[in-house]
A and B are shown apart, each in its own frame.
Chain A
Amino acid sequence: MSHTQDTTNGPVAASDAATSPAPVDAAEAEQRRKAVRSRTGKARFAGFLEAYALLVLLGVIALFFCFWSETSSTFPTVANMRILLASQAVIGVISLGALLPLLCQEFDLSVGNIAGLSAIMVAASVSSNGSVLVAVALALAIGLVVGGANALIVTRLHVNGVITTLGMSTILAGIILQRTGGLAPASDIPQAMTNFGTGLVAGVPVIFVTLLVIAAITYFVLNHTSLGRQIYAVGSNMEAAKLVGLRTDGLRAATFVVGALLCALGGLLYVSRAGGASPNVGVTFLLPAFAAAFLSAASVRPGRFNVWGTIIAVYFLAVLNNGLSLAGVEPYVNDYVNGGALIAGVALASVLYRRRTT
């Protein structure tokens, strides 16, 4: 295909001007290349700033709380850091569970209550028979069943995902209420499990390391496998994905199921860390998890929902909330922060998306 010989091999195109179809093209290409080169330095810095703005902001806020008189004695302590890292690990895993369907442009509003149901079932199970293995199996089974049901309803019955998971979430809340009567069940969590939830490895909470491992696996699957690429393709343009032969329904279903499994796992981690489960814990997971998943599109890979962006966002919100609580602000302020962050995240993501694509 000689006619396509063009721009990219500069010297050849330039010296070969006599035979190349239009010498003007070569000159034009040269100019364009120069323009690109002079732009890259600045562009790279701007790109870096855009990608890691949230991380930088996280650092700035953390520094602020280190030196602010209200929090300088309580925030920058090893104990507080450990609490921060460990307590947010659960939210982190659940926000990855929310992230997966979001990649296919599907909302899973049941993430919080899947984790909540998993938590109270796991707590009840280990309290009665003491087997951690059974508890793990139970958590995974809950994720599989609920996620599978969501997936089938969305892909087979073609019910809108928001409606499906809103309904599912409400049903799960009903099940939780039925099982607990609205009260935290007395629980007797085995030592092995609570050790995991509160233990340290090299001074870092085990549960935080667990989050990093899960995030790393999710990251590699999404960014380095064919499966992950296909999921991003579905999220980018479902019709086009179909017409290049992707199993779009299967892929969407998979994100619902794996997302639910992660949420159930989050419930399990919660029990190991809190040493029990309360019936309304699910509700408190939903918003921060969603806020973090949405904010992910504003960092690391701007305009695209992504794993490390999600983790950064989780800790960004956590540091903000933690510092404010330590400063003694009223608890409702945290609601303002989380709600505002969700909206800001969506707004930022859509601005960045438009910048990237237009």
Chain B
Amino acid sequence: MNEQTATEPTRAEQARKVALAVQDVSKTYGATRALDGVSLEVTTGAIHGLMGGNGSGKSTLIKMLAGVVTPDEGKLALKGDWIDARSHTPARAKASGLHFVHQQNSTFPDLTVAENLALGRGFESTAVRSINWSAQKARARQVLDRFEIDVAADTHLVRLSPAAQMMVAIARALQDQDDTDERGVLVLDEPTASLPKHEVDVLLTALRRYAADGQTIIYVSHRLEEVTAITDEVTVLRNGNVASRLIGTEISHDTLVAGITGSTSGTHAGGSRRANDAIASRVHLSHAAGFRETALTLSRRTASGLEGESLLLRAGEIVGIAGLLGSGRSRLLKQIFGAVPRDDFEVTVRSGTVPSSDMRTAMKRGVAFVPENRLREAALPELSIAENLSITSLSEHSRAGWIRPSRERKAANRLIQEFGVRAPSTIAPLTALSGGNQQKVILARWLQRRPDVLLLDEPTQGVDIGARNEIHELVRAAASAGTAVLVVSSDFGELAALAQRAVVISGGEIVDSVGGPLTEDILNDIVYAQEKAL
């Protein structure tokens, strides 16, 4: 299989068996072209890697395959029959043997292995239609044997290692395939995102075995090392286009990075050279920010006391945290704020140290935190806009515990003007607003406190492009007023637009830093370079 993968299905079919093919699929969301004429072929029995940075169209493509997203145009071939991709549905995906296992476990931790397997296909029942537990267990043991998973059928899933849980999920998806031609395609979406390092190898070994056995696998991951280790062919997406197709020995760290980051040189060394350049050009933190006063330091705690700063923010600075899914970037913000306990590093702000797990003190010391999930962690949905705003500043609006309504109302009116919130009135419930305006309210809620440090987690998630720019402006305005901003975003374009410099996080640790000016490509380079170093 040495020839270059062709785009025309006919030519490719002559060369080898194609398990799944996609041709010229496009999908547009508003002004964003998520997929722009993407074609893809997956060889039967191969492990096909699907890679791409954030916003590359990777997840749209997967959702399209699952039948959850309807493309604007394109064709799709499963088991050789071409259909209009627009007519693809989840039921059709299932019927044609596409099995999806997502990183978020769809398994039930409190049930046994046997029960988890049965929930995928139905229970063995007795003559009176009650569950036949012994038959059920026997069947589960059979499946476990077939997939060579070394666990007992009556173990509760929660007691298994993460890798074993993932393998049970895979076995559940595949259990109904016979050892015939009827095998479908297994799609694994970031299966290792939440696995610790040593567990990854266990899973990869198992996947190799399944593939050797003839199972076709689409392996979606951002981890270069894993993709180079196990895939037979790779498609790299970038900005909704296929950036490169690689086969066999062409798959290397350098070629992958070149595809993901779009390094134009075209040589295999291009990606890493750029990464090296960027690392070399990183600036010493304390010098980069000039002479403004320190707003936040993180110091690692070791047996011998405190080690030097692993992160230092100066007043008025916007610093990005770049990391891949599962790198611990959101967790770091929560740890700084005190929403999640920490014991391995110390946080100091201008007015003192911030103790672990003490959000109230963190707030008093001038730390503000806008969490990632607005609906779950920030919104007080049926409370009014004014009430949502004043909740962080109740003492400002009250005397001896009594709220002064006129003050609260005035402050709310001032804030919605200042932050450009488009609201019918301040007494309307928060949910009367669009996502972008809700997010501005949450931002205003914190910025009215004039915090020294603002922790922002995915500040524009689920927000339209107009509101996104406005929110960026608000964050910049806060920074120029002296607030130090630490921002997490899975969208490196956003980080590049907002932050003057960035630190790279992997496995919960700050492992690198990049000086400005930032670009999306530099961030991708550095982050993926870090993946290799690990």
A→B interface (CB under 8 Å):
1, 3-9, 29, 36, 224-227, 229-230, 232-233, 236-237, 239-247, 303-304, 353, 356-358
Complex Cα distance, B363 from A46, in Å, reads 41
Whether B398 pairs with A225 at a CB distance below 8 angstroms is yes
Q: Which residues of A contact B337 (CB under 8 A)?
A: 243
Closest 4 CB pairs of A and B: A4-B420, A236-B380, A357-B431, A226-B394
A4, B419: Cβ atoms under 8 Å? yes
B403 A4 Cβ-Cβ under 8 A: no
A-B contact pairs, 28 of them (CB 8 A): A3-B477, A4-B418, A4-B473, A6-B417, A7-B422, A8-B417, A225-B403, A226-B398, A227-B401, A229-B394, A230-B391, A232-B383, A232-B387, A233-B383, A233-B387, A236-B380, A237-B380, A241-B380, A241-B391, A243-B369, A243-B371, A243-B378, A244-B391, A244-B392, A245-B362, A303-B382, A353-B382, A357-B382
- Complex: A29 Cα to B337 Cα, angstroms: 38
Other-chain residue from A6, A236, A240, A245 in contact with B420 (beta carbon distance below 8 A): A6
Q: Does B395 contact A (CB under 8 A)?
A: yes
Contacts of B516 in A (CB 8 A): none
Given contacts A3-B420, A226-B394, A243-B359, 13 further A-B contacts (CB under 8 A): A4-B470, A6-B417, A6-B422, A36-B424, A225-B398, A225-B402, A226-B398, A227-B401, A237-B379, A241-B380, A243-B339, A243-B369, A246-B391
Contact: B381 with A357, CB < 8 Å?
Answer: yes
Shortest Cβ distance from A103 into chain B, in angstroms? 12
Q: Kindly state whether residue B360 has any CB partner on chain A within 8 Å.
A: yes
Closest to B404 in A: A224
| Interchain CB contact under 8 A, B381 and A236 | yes
User: Is B394 a contact partner of A4 (Cβ separation < 8 A)?
Assistant: no
Expressed in whole angstroms, the minimum distance between the Cβ of A38 and any Cβ of chain B is 13
User: Is there an interface contact between A243 and B377, defined as CB atoms closer than 8 Å?
Assistant: yes
Give chain B interface residues in 424-447, CB to chain A under 8 Å: 424, 429, 431, 445
User: Counting CB contacts under 8 A, is B376 at the interface?
Assistant: yes
CA distance A108 to B371 in the complex (A): 32
Report the separation of the CA atoms of residues A225 and B408 in the bound assembly, to the nearest whole angstrom.
12
A239–B401 Cα distance when bound, in Å, is 23
Q: Is the CB of B429 within 8 A of A357?
A: yes
Q: Would you call B34 an interface residue if the criterion is a C-beta within 8 Å of the partner chain's C-beta atoms? A: no
Is B474 among interface residues, defined by CB-CB distance under 8 A?
A: yes
CB proximity to A under 8 Å, residues B370-416: 371, 376-383, 387, 390-392, 394-395, 398, 401-403, 405, 413, 416
Complex Cα distance, B363 from A229, in Å, reads 19
Q: Residue on A with the closest CB to B440? A: A4
Q: Do A242 and B422 form a contact, CB below 8 Å, given A225-B401, A225-B402, A229-B387?
A: no
A3–B394 touching, CB < 8 Å: no
Tell me the nearest residue of chain B to A239, going by C-beta. B377
In the complex, the chain A residue whose C-beta lies closest to that of B363 is: A245
Query: Within the assembled complex, what's the spacing in Å between the Cα atoms of A7 and B417?
Result: 8
A216 CB to closest chain B CB, in angstroms? 14
Closest beta carbon of chain B to A229's beta carbon, Å? 6
A243 to B390, CA, bound (A): 14
The answer to whether A245 and B387 touch across the interface, beta carbons within 8 angstroms, is no
Instruction: Tell me, in angstroms, the Cα distance from A136 to B525 when the chains sit together.
Output: 73
| Chain B positions 345 through 374: 1 when the CB is less than 8 Å from some CB of chain A, otherwise 0 | 000000000000001101100000101000
Q: Which residue of A lies closest to B424 (CB)?
A: A36
The reply to whether B418 and A1 contact each other, CB–CB distance below 8 Å, is yes
Whether B422 lies near A240 (C-beta < 8 A) is no
B52-75 near A? 1/0 per residue, CB < 8 Å? 000000000000000000000000
